[in-house]
Amino acid sequence: MLIGYVSDERYLALADVLVEFERDGRSVAVVRSTPRGGIYADLEAGRYRVTLVKPGYGAKLIDLELDGAHMHQLRLLSDHLLGYMWPRWVRAGERAEFRVHSVAPYRLSLWRYGRSQEWVRLLGWFDEHGPLATMQVTPDGDYTQIGVQWNRRGYGSSPHHSQLAEAPTRSGLYYLHAENERGEFFSFPWVVAPAKPTAPIAVLASTNTWNAYNNFGGRSNYINAAGLPNVPIVNARLELPRYQDGTFSEWGAVQDNAFPPLSFERPEPGNVVPRGTQPTDPIAGRLASSLAPAEWRLLAWLEREAFDYDYYAEAQLHNGTLDLDAYQVLIISVHPEYWTRPMYELVREWADRGGRLMYLGGNGLNCEVEFPTRSAMRCKTHLRAEGGALGMHDPNDPQRYYESRFHRTVAPEASLLGVVTTETGIMTAAPYQVRCADHWVFRGTGLPDGAIFGTASLHERCNGGASGHETDKLSPHAPPGSIVLAKGLNPDDGGAEMVYHERSGGGAVFSVGSITYVSSLLVDDVISRITRNVLERFLRHEA
């Protein structure tokens, strides 16, 4: 009888797992999983205590009700060091729990990621006395929807097992550094907002995007977005539709206009920053260049240039913790792709009454999400019809717009940003070329029309310049008076268009339309000067 399948945290099938079934206090069967992770045993229906053991993975004891009809998805967790904070975002002075998985005693320290990795304090060593007591286990089934639920088993209410840290009084991006006696290292972010506004600039961390790209547990908004397959993966290239079918779209795979939830309560390997990294170091890896490690470069630049800022998570904009009217400037950066409808409406209304928005990213505000619970988000899948910024265009047009996943009843993202993502230029990078040299944004650069800038970049995934990875262009739905200041020199006319516009209520928006832009801030003098010109003018509240 097929009992079910066993897989790891990536939903990869685990072969040769030793599985013992016990009933009424005695062992009744011992089997091993197949190459596909299948568990077969000749057992009667009923309740069993099941033990699963495989070298390199944490052993697990569970109770299963076998009825011959229900197939169980059993999950084991590898021995790699992992961790995350919950809540992931707090206000200064609030406490959060650090949830760490380690099979060896580990040391935990707190760092602030500003102009450099700045030591804050040591949180201590943790081993909880017993063997493997800091080893966590994950739930069975699809825990991308409910979270990994660490620290909920075996800790009780003893104060000796408290694993809480108090947020520092200074707002910013913080990281926890975990390192254990096996020599492993893992770092994970913590967003600390101010207890009350302290600066004229608010910077928004793209925490929804971090979660959308996180496939810990086997799902993200890009891998198995509609749900885990019934059988664990053995070879992704041979089994996942995205690799087998060139026309496959995760966004067309469900019918209810929303994917299953993605929990924030999971480790984020894509946000790891290696120990000792400096902000001027190249950004290695595939995900890091569009997530928190890249956004850190913006914070490092702000501090290098002596601009004070407060830092917030996107959920804190959604729930009102971030009071936009307390700030002169809001900065969103790198890849702020996933927004809720209230987030969009709050920022648009604030800009219409005089707020100044700096969009230093690419492919932003493209997908609508909702928060069904405090700890999870759902990505909407419905596509906007004619009239949206990414409306229906000729599919043979190489400049066609991406199909927006933002709700059709909301004003198009281009009506706020002035730009919108198109397919051309994707996965390439290049410098910008000046198109409007007499505009104040180029003050002090000495650049004439046609001059090239933005050649240096820390972005290793798409190296080549400040216009890249995914690029936005001026939209037909941009506000009247939108000006194209510069355009990237990416192939096939796919360069990002740097756009500025003023709003009727006195507000203004500056958009760069490029994911790689922030990766050039610290190493390209012209990119730095342009950004400083905009920020200084916005702080003076000049049009």
Q: Which of 283-297, 451-465, 512-526, 529-543 has the lowest mean pLDDT?
A: 529-543
Pick from 19, 40, 75: which residue ends a domain?
75
pLDDT at 348: 96
Q: Is 289 domain-assigned?
A: yes
Q: Which of 16-30, 180-194, 255-269 has the lowest mean pLDDT?
A: 255-269
Peptide bond into 87 cis (omega under 30): yes
pLDDT at 402: 44
pTM: 0.94
Distance CA 320, CA 326 (A): 12
Reply yes or no on whether the pLDDT at 400 is more than 60.
Answer: no
Q: Is 54 domain-assigned?
A: yes
DSSP collapsed to 3 states, 17-40 = CEEEEEECCEEEEEEECCCCCEEE
Reply yes or no on whether the pLDDT at 516 is more than 70.
Answer: yes
- Residue with the bigger pLDDT between 128 and 339: it is 339
Pick from 40, 75, 110: which residue ends a domain?
75
Report the run of H or E that residue 7 belongs to, with start and end: strand 2-7
Reply yes or no on whether the pLDDT at 284 is more than 80.
Answer: yes
Q: Which of 59-63, 150-154, 395-399, 538-542 has the lowest mean pLDDT?
A: 395-399
Whole domain around residue 476: which residue ranges? 207-214+263-539
Distance CA 454, CA 79 (A): 43
Work out the pLDDT band at 417, boundaries 50, 70, 90.
very high
Q: Is 159 domain-assigned?
A: no
Distance CA 195, CA 94 (A): 9
pLDDT at 405: 53
Q: Is 122 domain-assigned?
A: no
Q: Is 516 domain-assigned?
A: yes
Q: How many domains does the chain have?
A: 2
pLDDT at 255: 53
For residue 32, what is the domain's CATH number? 2.60.40.1120
pLDDT at 509: 98
Q: Which of 144-158, 214-228, 435-449, 450-464 has the lowest mean pLDDT?
A: 144-158
Nearest to 92 by CA among 418, 387, 340, 310: 310
Residues whose CB falls within 8 Å of the CB of residue 115, separated by 6 or more in sequence, listed in order: 279, 300, 303, 304
Pick from 59, 75, 91: which residue ends a domain?
75
Q: What is the mean pLDDT of residues 469-479?
A: 95
Distance CA 137, CA 77 (A): 6
Q: Is 93 domain-assigned?
A: no
Distances (CA, A) of 455 to 185, 206, 411, 436, 495: 33, 25, 35, 19, 13
Q: What is the mean pLDDT of residues 517-539?
A: 98
Report the run of H or E that residue 462 belongs to, with start and end: none
Reply yes or no on whether the pLDDT at 407 is more than 80.
Answer: no
- Residue with the bigger pLDDT between 154 and 275: it is 275
Q: Is 192 domain-assigned?
A: no
- Torsion angle of C-alpha atoms 354, 355, 360, 362, degrees rounded to 10: -80
For residue 381, what is the domain's CATH number? 3.40.50
Q: Is 443 domain-assigned?
A: yes
Distance CA 299, CA 307 (A): 9
Asked if residues 127 and 103 have their Cβ atoms less than 8 Å apart, the reply is no
